[in-house]
């Protein structure tokens, strides 16, 4: 019952979710192609060692937890959701910015490295898209409350309804990021 309520909260905003997916993954692809076309130097050239392997070495559990906590707290909440809560279009802008950076990061990967990190790109990217849905909904709730919640009396009630829905949406974000952190940890251990 709880899982269906979580997915229901995400899919209630299906058009927004689809638009943000197109925006994010489209910016990754366009950025990677533009970097290739204009021959811009790669973002991460030289060492194949990631910051995670430098910080955590061979401790796989600490690496997994570090990646998960960083992605959930800083990357998803602070960078994507929080700006949208303040002004709802900022979540979409943060997605485009992150997509451009990811395209710049992966355009120079070898085929095997790209294939190893492709599941992480999809899982983590989708988590950021869903986090942007939460931020956009909460931000739009105080900007246009009657459009999101026609039964809400005022802005405050619409805002608190959106915050409750945002928490349900964030359960799905956390689940996606747990799986993404496990896959990313495995890929990092493979390519260290």
pLDDT in tens, 47-60: 445 556 566 777 88
Kindly calculate the radius of gyration of the chain based on its CA atoms and give it in whole angstroms.
18
Over the stretch 22-31, which tens digit does the pLDDT of each residue have?
A: 999 999 999 9
Instruction: Write down the H helix ranges in 12-110.
Output: 14-38, 51-56, 60-69, 82-86, 89-106
Give the range of the structural domain holding residue 147, as residue numbers without chain letter: 2-39+47-190
- 142's tokens: 């105080």
Mean pLDDT over each residue of the chain, to the nearest integer: 86
d(CA 165, CA 113): 37
Confidence band for 42, pLDDT divided at 50, 70 and 90: low
**Count of structural domains, the chain:** 1
* Residue 59 DSSP code: -
Distance CA 74, CA 11 (A): 24
Average pLDDT over residues 162-179: 94
The residue ranking higher by pLDDT, 144 or 2, is: 144
The predicted structure's pLDDT at residue 9: 67
* pLDDT recorded at residue 149: 82
**5 falls in which pLDDT band (50, 70, 90)?**
low
The number of residues in the chain equals 192
In angstroms, the CA 39 to CA 23 distance is 23
138, two tokens: 């909460």
The answer, yes or no, to whether residue 3 has pLDDT greater than 60, is: no
Distance between CA atoms of residues 58 and 161, nearest Å: 44
- Is residue 1's pLDDT more than 80? no
pLDDT confidence of residue 46: 45
The H or E element containing residue 163 is: helix 155-190
* 2-5 contacts, C-beta under 8 A, 24 or more apart: 2/171, 5/168
Q: Render pLDDT for 86-127 as a digit per residue (tens, 0 to 9).
A: 999 999 999 999 999 999 888 888 888 888 889 999 999 999
Percent of the chain with pLDDT over 70: 86
pLDDT at 132 over 70: yes
| Mean pLDDT score, 82-87 | 94
């Amino acid at each position: 019952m709880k899982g269906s309520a979580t997915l229901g909260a995400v899919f209630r905003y299906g058009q927004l979710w689809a638009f943000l997916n197109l925006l994010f993954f489209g910016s990754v692809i366009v950025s990677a192609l533009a970097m290739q076309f204009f021959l811009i130097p790669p973002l991460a050239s030289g060492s194949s060692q990631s910051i995670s392997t430098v910080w955590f070495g061979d401790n796989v559990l600490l690496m997994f937890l570090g990646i998960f906590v960083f992605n959930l707290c800083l990357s998803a909440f602070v960078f994507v959701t929080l700006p949208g809560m303040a002004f709802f279009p900022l979540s979409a802008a943060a997605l485009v910015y992150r997509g451009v950076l990811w395209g710049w990061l992966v355009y120079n990967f070898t085929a095997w490295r790209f294939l190893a990190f492709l599941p992480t790109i999809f899982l983590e990217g989708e988590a950021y898209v869903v986090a942007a849905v939460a931020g956009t909904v909460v931000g739009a709730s105080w900007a246009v409350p009657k459009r999101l919640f026609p039964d809400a009396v005022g802005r405050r009630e619409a805002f608190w309804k959106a915050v409750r829905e945002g928490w349900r949406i964030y359960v799905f974000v956390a689940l996606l990021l747990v799986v993404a952190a496990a896959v990313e940890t495995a890929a990092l251990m493979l390519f260290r």
